[in-house]
Homo-oligomer: A and B are copies of this chain.
Amino acid sequence: MKIVILNAYQTKFGELWERSLDDLIFEAIFETVKNSNVNIKQIQSIFIGNMLSGLTSDQNHLTSLVSEITDLNVPIIRVESACASGGMAIAQACQSIDSGQFENALVIGAEKMTDLPPETIASSLMTAASEEERNCGLTFPGLYALMANKYFTDFGAKEEDLALVPIKNHFHASLNNKSHFPFEITLKQVLESGKIADPLKLLDCSPITDGAAGVLLASENFAKKSSKNKVFITASSIATDTLNLSKREKITEIKSTRIASKNAYKQAGVESKDINLAEVHDCFSIAEILAIEDLGFCKKGEGYITIRSGKTKLGGKLPINLSGGLKACGHPVGASGVKQIVELFNQMCHSCGSRQTEIADIGLAQNVGGTGGTSVIHILQKYR
């Protein structure tokens, strides 16, 4: 697979009271296409990732909404896969270009989450879990807390180790003016923040965020006409697993990430050790630790030690979540997976200013739905 990224754009992430879902989608579409050397009338297909618009904006049928916004009659496809909806949209777009069906595809991820009371949005998000889990009164913090506790038992990590994830990601976000929380936090602040589901505290949890992101993809042939960029998606892989955490063999790994990343490495012809930078799905601190392990960046049980070493921080050998991640850049559900690609693209174009990593030739994005019921992996490579 060799899909060219022509352009990428992210709206400001945050509590955007003055912006509707339509506004966010509109901005993401036109800003992504702008400066791409492609006219909107040349767009051949659009893929949109969104989870909750029916619940939060009384709006399904985003395919037609996007047709109206763009004044295009082209094929438009909406995909939903909980918090992996954005990555799923990228994957479907890649496939449609790789198949030769379209020469280009615009991908939009968007979510408007702050118009509803927190308890309503929390119950909306629980539609990504199983009926049994909902009926037990479990929440996503609760589910990930179960994973964290078992991880502590098996591998000896502590609350202080979890805290290293948001501290790092807030540091990265402090250098990103598009982020929801562009400021640093301290160990003391994390440990003293309110308990949400033991051992997860408020500052271990990604926030409720509004935002959108867009990526314009094209075949090599189409891109020749218009692009000076040399960033390609070279692997796109999806895997799934049970909805119920209790039905998994292990709860200290995300099996779908292991399967999808293994396939992605094979597809791109690279190994985990070749990756220079990654955006991973840090919905809760424990999730980033598991991701690092399941993606093969270190041995099982050593994710927190890897983070402690500084390797995954800006300046380290494998910086992770330079955008600030879901935790600090924010987590507008359907947008998160697309924003990961935006960040990797910008890093690989060396346009990230003070949070620019030095070597950015091979990047990886991991986008997860639920507690790992869905994983989508993309690998980006730069050719000079």
Binding site for B on A (CB under 8 A): 22, 51-55, 58-68, 72-82, 84, 88, 91-92, 95-96, 98-101, 123-124, 126-131, 134, 237-244, 247, 255-256, 259, 369-370, 373-374
Sample of 14 further A-B pairs with CB below 8 A, known A66-B240, A98-B101 = A55-B55, A59-B131, A61-B370, A63-B84, A63-B88, A64-B369, A67-B243, A68-B130, A72-B240, A73-B239, A77-B79, A79-B79, A79-B80, A95-B96
- Can you show 29 pairs from A to B with CB atoms below 8 A apart? A51-B54, A51-B60, A53-B127, A58-B131, A60-B80, A63-B84, A63-B373, A63-B374, A64-B81, A64-B82, A64-B128, A64-B243, A64-B370, A64-B374, A65-B130, A67-B374, A68-B242, A68-B373, A73-B241, A75-B237, A75-B238, A77-B81, A77-B92, A77-B238, A78-B79, A78-B81, A79-B79, A92-B92, A95-B99
Tell me, in angstroms, the Cα distance from A75 to B377 when the chains sit together: 11
Return chain B residues, CB-CB under 8 Å to A81: 61, 63-64, 77-78
CB distance from A50 to the nearest CB of B (A): 9
Tell me, in angstroms, the Cα distance from A78 to B243 when the chains sit together: 14
Return chain B residues, CB-CB under 8 Å to A72: 240
Return chain B residues, CB-CB under 8 Å to A134: 58
CB distance from A253 to the nearest CB of B (A): 13
Tell me which of B60, B77, B126 contacts A127 (CB under 8 A).
B60
Tell me which of B61, B99, B237, B369 contacts A61 (CB under 8 A).
B369
CB distance from A204 to the nearest CB of B (A): 22
Tell me, in angstroms, the Cα distance from A126 to B72 when the chains sit together: 23
Residue of B nearest to A66 (CB): B240
Return chain B residues, CB-CB under 8 Å to A92: 77, 92
Copies of this chain, whole number = 2
Return chain B residues, CB-CB under 8 Å to A61: 80-82, 127-129, 243, 369-370, 373-374
Residue of B nearest to A51 (CB): B60
Tell me, in angstroms, the Cα distance from A131 to B11 when the chains sit together: 23
Tell me, in angstroms, the Cα distance from A256 to B373 when the chains sit together: 35
- A73-B126 contact given A98-B99, A101-B99, CB 8 Å threshold: no
Tell me, in angstroms, the Cα distance from A155 to B73 when the chains sit together: 26
CB distance from A125 to the nearest CB of B (A): 9
B68 touches A127 (CB 8 A): no
Return chain B residues, CB-CB under 8 Å to A101: 95, 98-99
A127 touches B64 (CB 8 A): no
CB distance from A149 to the nearest CB of B (A): 22
Tell me which of B75, B370, B374 contacts A240 (CB under 8 A).
B75
Tell me which of B51, B79, B124, B240 contacts A67 (CB under 8 A).
B240
User: 5 smallest A-B Cβ distances: which pairs?
Assistant: A64-B373, A99-B99, A67-B240, A75-B238, A61-B82
CB distance from A152 to the nearest CB of B (A): 25
Return chain B residues, CB-CB under 8 Å to A238: 75-77
B59 touches A127 (CB 8 A): yes
Return chain B residues, CB-CB under 8 Å to A127: 53-54, 58-61
A76 touches B244 (CB 8 A): no
CB distance from A233 to the nearest CB of B (A): 14
Tell me, in angstroms, the Cα distance from A255 to B72 when the chains sit together: 12
Return chain B residues, CB-CB under 8 Å to A126: 58
Tell me, in angstroms, the Cα distance from A346 to B130 when the chains sit together: 35
CB distance from A364 to the nearest CB of B (A): 18
CB distance from A101 to the nearest CB of B (A): 6
A64 touches B96 (CB 8 A): no
